[in-house]
Structure 1
């Protein structure tokens, strides 16, 4: 693994410690990827800026490195047979959304393919076998897995978009009320009810409701065992 020598001017003498990609990744995450300039990362690590450039060529490559390392450091849940298919898919969807939403600056690197996850196809193969064991055809396995993945990745993308709006001082509720104030009182009654109820489509709970809608539909379409008891979207306020 390439290493970077630390600048120890004024520090204790002795053999300089070596810093690799894991240390650089931790530094970026501690600073926050959206704020991690090359200079700030170098200062955080206690290395010279030229030393850091010897390890990563530029800021774009820095984020690619961190995105790849982050994907390798966490792995999605595997179906172990000790829980039902629905709970496993819920856990998988939650993992994808959480992993990609945790660091918005890294999301674009993953979606663009700049950050690779070496074990991705191995995991996909395992997931498809788990669905096949439920009696689904290969095509249906792929459809189910892809549908859950699409919902989770779409939610992560929307969460990132909302994050950008919020940082600009224009979050969901502000945009919602601004739009309603521009419309006539008799227009958009459902949207007004949503605003009055304080509903937010970007919360974790809202995401769980959408996943549940999908899982219930999968169970009905493919006649799978009923999902374990959770709060059904139809049982809550409309």
Structure 2
């Protein structure tokens, strides 16, 4: 039997094409019509693999989160070191694909990679002695912080024209230099905030660990 001229359509090909489109042009660029054109297929053929555009974006988001390292939660690493190491890996995965972050921010939904991550963090925190309520809050807190830090660059938000800041904004006399040092500024800010968060949590750990009765009932939010 002769080979088909074009590779057969698969979930994998659709997800790879959708991620490339999101990276290049943002979430708004993704549509079934556009993806079909990129893949050289008819639009309806995508529905054999994904029922909706949101389902495609869910798969893209899950692919990005699959790159997050969770091994530190399985290696009996102390909870502080585990949170620091995981958060850095999490941010690196999101920062490589910042346009998908708004979709990820909706929560894990049914996405396997995000559910595995939530399960790993919650399990490690409760095993370390945190109450279920605080373990839930820690997972939420870290997600807010990491997603926000990966969404955009603080440094790149300032133009490199010193005249913009002269006179009216005397405390921003060096702001025009921030974009030039974008990586140093943004990564430094992330590290500063991350360590402050984890150090702050450590200060409350003994008291929280002594109050397991504050845990929410199973299946209920904290």
2:10 equivalent in structure 1: 20
Q: 2:94 pairs with 95, 100, 114, which one? A: 100
1:211 equivalent in structure 2: 194
Distance in 1 between residues matched to 2:123 and 2:50, nearest whole Å: 39
1:188-211 Cα deviation digits (max 9, x unpaired): 2xx446666776586223212210
Q: 1:137 to 1:32 in 2, by over 3 A?
A: closer
1:65-122 Cα deviation digits (max 9, x unpaired): 4224444x43551412443322210122223323333223322222235964235455
Structure 1 position 181 matched with structure 2 position 166: yes
Unaligned runs of 5+ in 1: 1-11, 225-238
SS at 1:18 equivalent: coil
SS at 2:101 equivalent: helix
Q: 1:48 to 1:155 in 2, by over 3 A?
A: same
> TM-score normalised to the size of structure 1?
0.62
2:205 equivalent in structure 1: 222
Alignment of 1:150-189 (within 5 A): 150-157=144-151, 159=152, 162=153, 171-174=156-159, 177=162, 180-181=165-166, 183=168, 187-188=170-171
Q: Contact 1:65–1:115 (CA<8 Å) still a contact in 2?
A: no
Q: Contact 1:67–1:115 (CA<8 Å) still a contact in 2?
A: no
Q: CA RMSD in A?
A: 3.9
Q: 1:109 to 1:32 in 2, by over 3 A?
A: closer
> TM-score normalised to the size of structure 2?
0.65
Kindly tell me the number of residue pairs found equivalent between the two proteins.
199
Q: Contact 2:62–2:113 (CA<8 Å) still a contact in 1?
A: no
Which structure shows the bigger proportion of residues in helix conformation?
A: 2
1:151-196 Cα deviation digits (max 9, x unpaired): 1122123x2xx49xx9xxxx32318956522516xx42xx446666
